[in-house]
Chain A
Amino acid sequence: MTGENLLGFIVVLFTALGIAFFSLKRIRAQFPAYIRKIPPIGRLKRAIGLSVEDGSRVHLSLGSPGLSEPAGTSALVGLSTLHRVGQLSSTSDQPPVCTSGDGNFTLLSRDVLRGVAVETNTYDSFDPDQGWLTGITPFSYALGAMEVIKDPIVKTNILIGTFGTEAVLLSTTAEQRESFTLAASHSLVGQAVFMATSRDVLLGEELYALPAYLNYRPAHLASLRVQDVLRYIIGAVLVAGTLMRALGIL
C-alpha cells in the first residue's frame, strides 16, 4: 500500500465515520448545524410550492453524466433532489418529470419516481414515462429537454447534474418561458454558462448541499459538516505547505 493509497483510505474512512457521527440524533440535537442561507434554494422551495398550488409540473434534468465517471455524483445528487421534490410535490396534480442524457440515470430516475409514488400513495397515477432519455449526445439531450421545458405545464425547472455548453439552450429556453430555473453543474464550463444565462445558480459545492437544504435526510447535513471539516484541513495543509515552500523547508 503506497502512501497515496493510505492517505486516500484514511480520508475515505474519516469521511464515512464523520457522516455516521454527525448523523446521530444526539449529536444533531446537541450540536445543531448552522448553515448559511442560499437564496436560490429558498426561491426553489417557493417555486415548488407554487407549482403544487397552481397544478403545474416540476421538471428536473440530470444532464449527460456517466455513472462510472466522477461527474456522475452530481447526477446522484440530482436523484436525491428528485426524490425530495417528488415528496414535496406529491399533492400536486402533476408529478415531476425527469430527463437525462444517460441510460443509467434514466432507469434510476424512473426507480426514484416509482418509489416516490409508492411512498405517497399515488401509484395509481404513476407513469413510467415521467423519467426518460432525451438524447445520447449532449446536444441531442439538450434538444429533447428543451421540448420538455417548452411544455406549458412546466413552470419550474431544476437543472442539476453534468452540463456543458449545451446548457445555454436549456437555460435560455427556460428564461424565454419565464419559468423558474435553478441551475447547478458539476463542470466549470456548465457553471460559467449558467452564471451568464440563468438567475438562480449554484456554484461549486453548493450543488452537493441542495438535498441538505431541502431537509431530505440527516446524512446530507452530516456530510456537509464533514466537507467543512475536510475543507479546513485542506486549507490548513495548503497554507502550511506554501509557507514551508516559501521558507525553503520543502
Chain B
Amino acid sequence: MGTVANTGTAETATPPPVVATPPGRARADRAATRAAVLFLAPALLLIGLFFFLPVAAALVLSLTDFDLYAVGDLENTRWVGLRNYAQLLQTPLFWGALRNTFYFALVGGPLSIAASLGAALLLDSKLVRFKGFFRTVYFAPFVTTLVAVAIVWRYLYHARYGLINWMLAKASIPPIDWLGDPDWAMPAIILMAVWKNFGYNMLIFIAGLQSIPRELYEAAEIDGASWWRRFWHVTLPMLGPTLLFVGVITMIGYFQLFAEPYVMTQGGPLRSTTSVVLLMYEEGFRWWRMGYAAAVAFVLFVVILAATLLQYRVQRERDAR
C-alpha cells in the first residue's frame, strides 16, 4: 500500500538536497535567514517562554528538595542532585504506580482503540440507519463531565446495590466488589474509561474510513474476498496512518491517567489504582514536595517518550515491509 498518502505520520519529508551556494548569493541568503528568524521569533519566543523555560525550571526543581519548608524560607532548600530519582526508584509505591499505569495503558489503550474501531465500522456500514443519532449517542460520554460520570458509575459498581452486580446475579454469578477489591478496581476503572473515551477515537476512525476509496472494496469484492479479508487487507492498511495517530494520542492520554482514579477511588484500595500522575499530584499539590513531584514528572516523561518512539518504530517497520 505504498501509494497511500501518509498524512500526519512519522514519515518526515526527506531533507532537501544540499547545494553548494554560489558566492554571489551569500548575502541574499543571509538576508533571507534573518527574515526567517524574524518571522519565527514570536513563535520561538512563546515556545521558549512557556514551554522550554518551565521544563528547564522543573528539571532544576527535581534536583532539589523544594518542599513546604522551602516555601516558608528558601534557605531550607537543599541541592540533592539525583537523590529524588534514587529515592523514587527505591519506593515500592512508585513501582506500584508505574505498574498500574502500564496496566491501564496496555489493557485500556488497545481495548479503547478496538471499541472505537468497532463502533466506527458499525457506523460506517451501509446497513446501519440513524447514523447521526448513534454517532451523537456514542460521542456523548466523551463530552460529559467526568465527575458526573464517575458518580453514576460508582453506583453501577456498588457491591450491594449496583446494577452490574444485579445483572451478574441474574446470570447467577456471585457479586464482585468492583471498587473495593484491589484485583478488580483497575479493571473497573478501565471499563469506565473505555466507555467514556471511545467516542472521540470513533469519530477519527469514521473520518479515516470514509476517506478509503470505495473502488478498492469493489475490486476486492469482485475478486471474491470475504468481509474479513477485505477488513484485513483493505481497511486496516488504509487506516494505517489514522491508527498510528490514534494509537499515539490514546497511549499518551492513557499514560496520563489521573481523573478517573482521583474521582472514583482516590488511588485505593491498597493503592491498586494509584497512577504515576496521581502520585505526582499527591506529592506535589497535596504534600507540597515539589522537588520529588518534579522527579516523578520527568520519569513519566521519559516513559511516554520511550513508548511513543517505540510506536513510531513499529509503524515504520510495517510501512517498510
Say whether A associates with B: no
State the B residues within 8 Å of A (CB). none
